[in-house]
């Protein structure tokens, strides 16, 4: 009974907004008050949606529903990415409106459905094909590849049917042109290049306290992450070079810490060497950067600001790490001599890594 009453008031408000009749604002205000009295739960979200219905009607905005059903059952990078988007929802831009799948939406059907991380079975995928709405679905970046070098894996139905996924869906989200080109090269799908939606990895982490540069005890945080191949021999050579200096170097490996540990390391570090190969997202790096840490990486797609993140292609040298060592050390000494403001660096990185940029990029690519 209560739901029926709520829907009556909700529909009255929507009908009023669509009528564009501004001569009876008293009617609108009265119905809004009664609606929120009855439906006090999620007031802000409902208020956002109601008034964006009007905006959407006027500007022909695209409504995109993001699947947040797995937000508490996934972990690591995929969880951080989804949570980063979820914190912004509902979100509206000039062209798009984004809502969570948990949002009560009794009237409007989304134009598109975006699934970042999926436990979609092959049977469920086939059912979407049968219902003829598969072309409204966007998947990624946590669907493929499972492993970089073995893609496409015939034992994974998503990778085995990757070309079919590209053909039938609205698109596939990837974090960089490098990942896109790898998937295309492995599956000969250059004709589907427009299906790939490039969205940079992001983080909305905004620490309340940022340590000053001079009070940070860790000069270099050496972050190791090996997706497919082990590059530990190269890491050991580089570490030994830095440890021969007076720099305080701390080494951590992906998966060997919890989230709180990473935050403590980040806020106590001046620089991070992101020693990762074939990383498809690097959200961990974004979280470290948001504490005001300068970064070094050999992956070009992870460098979006040459003032706080530096490209060091010499890190890929399998036999001689001295060129990488010399280049990094020169930059570290130069920055350290200027005693930078870590709070300003953190704000700069947070702006670059903001998940709003990811939603705007997705909207632009539709």
What are 262-291's pLDDT values in tens digits? 999 999 999 999 998 777 778 999 999 999
Span 103-150, pLDDT tens digits:
766 567 889 999 997 778 899 899 989 988 999 999 999 888 888 888
Check residue 23 and give its pLDDT.
47
Per DSSP (E only), the strands in the chain are: 62-66, 91-92, 96-100, 112-117, 137-142, 171-174, 196-198, 218-226, 249-253, 269-277, 294-297, 309-311
Q: Average pLDDT for residues 12-24, to the nearest whole number? A: 47
Phi, psi of 345 (to 5 degrees): -65, -40
Q: What's the pTM value of the predicted model, to 2 decimals?
A: 0.82
Q: Which CATH number fits domain 218-354: 3.40.50.150, 3.40.220.10, 3.40.50.9100, 3.40.50.2000?
A: 3.40.50.2000
Domain map (residue ranges) of the chain: 60-202+357-365, 218-354
- Section 187-201 average pLDDT: 95
Query: Is the model's pLDDT at 363 over the cut of 90?
Result: yes
Average pLDDT of 315-320? 89
Strands across the sheet with 137-142, in order?
91-92, 96-100, 62-66, 112-117, 137-142, 171-174, 196-198
For 86: left if phi > 0, alpha if psi spans -120 to 50, otherwise beta; the answer is alpha
Per-residue pLDDT tens over the stretch 202-239: 999 999 999 999 999 999 999 988 765 678 888 999 99
pLDDT, residue 90, reads 85
- 27-41, 197-211, 281-295, 296-310: least confidently modelled range: 27-41
User: What pLDDT is attached to residue 257?
Assistant: 82
* Lowest model confidence (mean pLDDT) among 17-31, 139-153, 302-316, 336-350: 17-31
CATH number, domain 60-202+357-365, options 3.50.50.60, 3.40.640.10, 3.30.70.1710, 3.40.50.2000: 3.40.50.2000
Most confident of the following: 7-21, 43-57, 250-264? 250-264
Whole-number pLDDT of residue 6: 46
Q: What percent of the chain has pLDDT over 70?
A: 82
Residue 19: pLDDT band (50, 70, 90) is very low
Q: Do domains 60-202+357-365 and 218-354 have the same CATH topology?
A: yes
> If pLDDT is split at 50, 70 and 90, which confidence band does 75 have?
confident
341 in Cβ contact with 213 (< 8 Å): yes
Please, what is the average pLDDT of the chain? Answer: 84
Which long-range contacts (C-beta less than 8 Å, at least 24 apart) are formed by 147-154?
147/227, 147/228, 148/182, 148/227, 148/228, 148/278, 148/280, 149/228, 149/229, 149/278, 150/228, 151/182, 151/183, 151/186, 152/186, 152/187
* Statement: residue 24 has pLDDT above 60: no
Indicate whether 245 pLDDT > 70. yes
Number of Cβ atoms within 10 Å of the Cβ of 173: 24
CA angle 88, 89, 92 (to 5 degrees): 90
User: How far apart, in whole angstroms, are the C-alpha atoms of residue 61 and residue 189?
Assistant: 31
- Residue scoring higher pLDDT (148 or 9): 148
């Amino acid at each position: 009974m209560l739901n029926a009453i709520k829907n009556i008031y909700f529909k009255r408000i929507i009908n009023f907004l669509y009528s564009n009749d501004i001569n009876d604002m008293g009617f609108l205000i009265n119905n809004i008050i009664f609606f929120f009295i009855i439906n006090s739960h999620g007031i802000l979200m409902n208020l956002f949606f109601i008034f964006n219905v009007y905006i959407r009607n006027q500007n022909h905005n695209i409504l995109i529903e993001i699947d947040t059903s797995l937000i508490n059952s996934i972990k690591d990078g995929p969880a951080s990415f989804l949570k980063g988007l979820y914190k912004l929802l509902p979100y509206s831009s000039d062209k798009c409106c984004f809502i969570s799948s948990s949002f009560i939406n009794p009237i409007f059907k989304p134009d598109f459905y975006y699934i970042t991380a999926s436990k979609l079975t092959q049977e469920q995928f086939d059912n979407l094909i049968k219902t003829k709405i598969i072309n409204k679905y966007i998947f990624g970046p946590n669907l493929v590849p499972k492993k970089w070098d073995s893609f496409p894996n015939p034992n994974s139905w998503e990778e085995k049917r990757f070309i079919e996924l590209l053909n039938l869906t609205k698109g596939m989200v990837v974090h960089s042109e490098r990942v896109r080109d790898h998937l295309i090269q492995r599956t000969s799908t250059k004709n589907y290049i427009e299906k790939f939606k490039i969205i940079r990895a992001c983080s909305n982490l905004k620490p309340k306290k940022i340590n000053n540069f001079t009070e940070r005890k860790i000069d270099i945080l050496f972050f190791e992450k090996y997706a497919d191949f082990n590059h530990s021999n190269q890491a050991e050579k580089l570490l030994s070079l830095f440890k021969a200096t007076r720099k305080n170097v701390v080494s951590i490996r992906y998966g060997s810490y919890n989230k709180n540990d990473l935050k403590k390391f980040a806020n106590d570090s001046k620089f991070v060497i992101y020693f990762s190969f074939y990383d498809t997202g690097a959200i961990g790096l974004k979280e470290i950067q948001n504490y005001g840490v300068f970064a070094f990486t050999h992956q070009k797609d992870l460098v979006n600001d040459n003032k706080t993140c530096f490209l060091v292609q010499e890190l890929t040298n399998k036999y001689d790490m001295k060129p990488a060592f010399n280049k990094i050390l020169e930059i570290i000494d130069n920055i350290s001599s200027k005693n930078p403001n870590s709070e300003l660096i953190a704000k700069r990185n947070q702006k670059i890594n903001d998940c709003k940029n990811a939603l705007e990029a997705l909207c632009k690519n539709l």
